[in-house]
């Protein structure tokens, strides 16, 4: 599977292949190792795709080099993907298990290391904190792409932080998320 930009063919991860892998795991009741789970879940979570599509409409800031940069999965994009995946899994794993979903990173970690859910959360919170450090470092030190491009990637992580910090507000959007959205101004604020 690839993406065509002008005359350039850009290979991309295969969400279809990885979704099939997740379906096989679910059907077989298989709980993968954390590393195996994350390799697949970082693709099926579609965060890389969101980082790429968030750049649509950027005009002259969006160059072939920018697409090359984002499709090579730079550290800031990978760190954002890790934040998104782990925060989503921590916030929603109980509800997903009640509904018969496949194992999240939480179940994978508990199963692989024989620890409690809280110990898994502690480890994932450390990984999320380290991913934020990677993001901050990339924002301070990267000159590969314009800051406006980096901001798009960072904004994705900030939205996920809002959606999954305390609870899975994305899945249960009729509650607190509805209030968050209502606070967004409908009309531009004059400056």
- The tens digit of pLDDT for each residue in 21-49 reads 888 988 898 999 999 999 999 888 878 88
Describe the crossing of helices 75-98 and 105-113 by its angle, rounded to 10 degrees: 90
Band of pLDDT at residue 1, cut at 50, 70 and 90: very low
Is 15 within 8 Å of 43 (Cβ atoms)? yes
Describe the crossing of helices 34-44 and 75-98 by its angle, rounded to 10 degrees: 100
pLDDT value, residue 167: 66
Q: Average of pLDDT values for 143-150?
A: 89
Is 79 within 8 Å of 151 (Cβ atoms)? no
List of residues 6+ apart from 54 with CB closer than 8 A: 152, 153, 155, 156
**Token pair listed for 163:** 């959606």
- Core vs surface per residue 46-62: b (16+ CB within 10 A) or e: ebbebbbebbeeeeeeb
List of residues 6+ apart from 24 with CB closer than 8 A: 30
Per-residue H/E/C for 6-53: CCEEEECCCHHHHHHHHHHHHHHCCCCCHHHHHHHHHHHCCHHHHHHH
Domain ranges of the chain: 12-171
> What is the assigned CATH class of domain 12-171?
mainly alpha
- The tens digit of pLDDT for each residue in 81-130 reads 999 999 989 888 777 777 777 889 999 999 999 999 999 999 999 999 99
Looking at the chain, list the stretches that DSSP marks H as alpha helix, in order from N- to C-terminal side. Answer: 15-28, 34-44, 47-53, 64-71, 75-98, 105-113, 117-141, 147-164, 176-182
State whether residue 176 is helix, strand or coil. Answer: helix
Is 48 within 8 Å of 73 (Cβ atoms)? yes
Is 26 within 8 Å of 19 (Cβ atoms)? no
Q: Average of pLDDT values for 8-17?
A: 59
Q: Average of pLDDT values for 150-156?
A: 90
Is 128 within 8 Å of 54 (Cβ atoms)? no
Across the chain, what does the average pLDDT equal?
82
- End-to-end CA distance of the chain: give it in Å, rounded: 46
């Amino acid at each position: 599977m690839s993406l065509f930009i002008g005359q350039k063919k850009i290979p991309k991860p295969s969400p279809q292949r990885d979704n099939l892998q997740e379906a096989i795991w679910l059907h077989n009741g298989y709980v993968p190792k954390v590393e195996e789970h994350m390799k697949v879940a970082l693709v099926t979570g579609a965060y890389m795709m969101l980082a790429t599509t968030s750049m649509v409409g950027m005009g002259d800031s969006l160059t072939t080099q920018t697409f090359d940069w984002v499709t090579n999965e730079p550290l800031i994009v990978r760190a954002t993907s890790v934040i998104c995946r782990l925060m989503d899994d921590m916030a929603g794993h109980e509800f997903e298990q009640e509904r018969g979903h496949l194992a999240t990173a939480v179940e994978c970690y508990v199963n692989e290391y024989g620890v409690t859910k809280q110990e898994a959360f502690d480890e994932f919170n450390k990984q999320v904190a380290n991913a934020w450090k990677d993001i901050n470092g990339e924002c301070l030190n990267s000159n590969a792409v314009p800051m406006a491009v980096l901001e798009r990637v960072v904004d994705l992580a900030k939205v996920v932080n809002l959606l999954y910090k305390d609870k899975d507000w994305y899945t249960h959007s009729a509650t607190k998320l509805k209030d968050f959205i209502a606070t967004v101004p409908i009309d531009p604020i004059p400056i």
